[in-house]
Amino acid sequence: MPWDLKSDRPIYTQLVEQIKLMVFSGTYPPGSKLPSVRDMAQEAAVNPNTMQRALAKLEEDGLIITHRTSGRSITEDASMIELAKTKLAQDQIFEFLEKMRLMGFDQKEILTIITTMAKELK
Partner 1 sequence: MSTIFECSGLTKKFGSKTALSDVDLKIERGQIVGLLGPNGSGKSTLIKLANELLTPTSGQILIGGKQPGIETKKIVSYLPERTYLNDWMRVQQIIEFFSDFYDNFKPEKAYDMLKRLNISPNDRLKTMSKGTKEKVQLILVMSREAELYFLDEPIGGVDPAARDYILETILSNYNENATVIISSHLISDIEKILDYVIFLNQSKVVLTSTVDDIRDAKGKSVDLLFREVFKC
Interface contacts to partner 1, rule CB under 8 A: 5, 7-12, 38, 41-42, 45-50, 53
H helices of 77-121, where? 78-102, 107-121
Based on CB atoms, which residue is closest to partner 1, 46 or 63? Answer: 46
Residues 6+ apart with CB under 8 A from 111: none
Based on CB atoms, which residue is closest to partner 1, 57 or 85? Answer: 57
Strands 71-74 and 64-67: antiparallel
- Residue 11 C-beta: closest distance to partner 1, Å: 6
Helix (H, G, I), strand (E, B) or coil at 28: coil
- Residue 38 C-beta: closest distance to partner 1, Å: 7
Based on CB atoms, which residue is closest to partner 1, 44 or 74? Answer: 44
- Residue 12 C-beta: closest distance to partner 1, Å: 6
- Residue 63 C-beta: closest distance to partner 1, Å: 20
Based on CB atoms, which residue is closest to partner 1, 14 or 75? Answer: 14
Q: Where are the beta strands (DSSP E) in 29-85?
A: 64-67, 71-74
Q: Are 72 and 33 in contact (CB under 8 A)?
A: yes
